[in-house]
């Protein structure tokens, strides 16, 4: 199975979902350079609250870069350009939140996100994104709750991180 791309989903759904977090999506013409892409084309790019995608950008990449914006501290968000950075806890939070948000895109889902993440090469201690999410991510779940990003029922609060503390 090939990785799902932004051309495979309804652009409006992605725009509405990420717009809840103040992100603005910009589409880039095919074969043009994607501004702010850390991994290079066709991966998504991020510059402050601007997400750049092409038709061949993987959906998981668009969500991943967006979740960096959502999960990072405000002082870093203001200067965000290409390299989202962040530590171990934030990177895990980005992956976890990306998985949760995948269920809000018709034609995508947690199961498809797990498959695409594994296919792309995300690495987790338990050898798969699904095993990590279901059995080894309690610390990440707590991190997201403590920063006001998700609720205890694993639903998004539709907030971005608002404080600079590493952990509450």
Q: Please tell me the distance from the alpha carbon of residue 110 to that of residue 30, in angstroms, as a whole number.
A: 27
Identify whether 161 is part of a domain.
no
- Per-residue pLDDT tens digits for 28-51: 999 999 999 998 999 999 999 999
Q: Report which of residues 121 and 90 the model is more confident about.
A: 90
Identify whether 166 is part of a domain.
no
Query: What pLDDT score does 166 carry?
Result: 57
Q: What is the mean pLDDT of residues 85-89?
A: 91
Q: What is the mean pLDDT of residues 61-83?
A: 96
Identify whether 109 is part of a domain.
yes
Q: Report which of residues 165 and 106 the model is more confident about.
A: 106
Q: Please tell me the distance from the alpha carbon of residue 168 to that of residue 35, in angstroms, as a whole number.
A: 34
Domain count, the chain: 1
Identify whether 13 is part of a domain.
yes
Identify whether 126 is part of a domain.
yes
Identify whether 163 is part of a domain.
no
Identify whether 165 is part of a domain.
no
Q: What is the mean pLDDT of residues 84-107?
A: 95
Structural domain span for residue 95 = 6-146
Query: What pLDDT score does 123 carry?
Result: 73
Identify whether 15 is part of a domain.
yes
């Amino acid at each position: 199975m090939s990785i799902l791309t932004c051309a495979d989903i309804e652009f409006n759904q992605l725009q509405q979902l990420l717009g809840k977090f103040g992100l603005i999506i910009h589409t880039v013409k095919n074969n043009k350079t994607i501004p702010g892409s850390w991994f290079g084309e066709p991966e998504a790019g991020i510059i402050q609250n601007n997400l750049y995608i092409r038709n061949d950008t993987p959906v998981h990449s668009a969500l991943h870069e967006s979740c960096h914006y959502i999960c990072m501290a405000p002082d870093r968000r203001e200067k965000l350009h290409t390299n989202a950075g962040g530590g171990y806890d934030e990177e895990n939070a980005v992956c976890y939140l990306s998985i949760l948000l995948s269920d809000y895109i018709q034609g995508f889902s947690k199961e498809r996100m797990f498959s695409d993440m594994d296919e792309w090469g995300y690495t987790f201690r338990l050898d798969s994104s699904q095993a990590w999410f279901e059995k080894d991510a309690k610390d990440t779940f707590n991190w997201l709750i403590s920063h006001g990003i998700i609720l205890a029922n694993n639903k998004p609060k539709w907030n971005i991180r608002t404080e600079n503390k590493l952990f509450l």
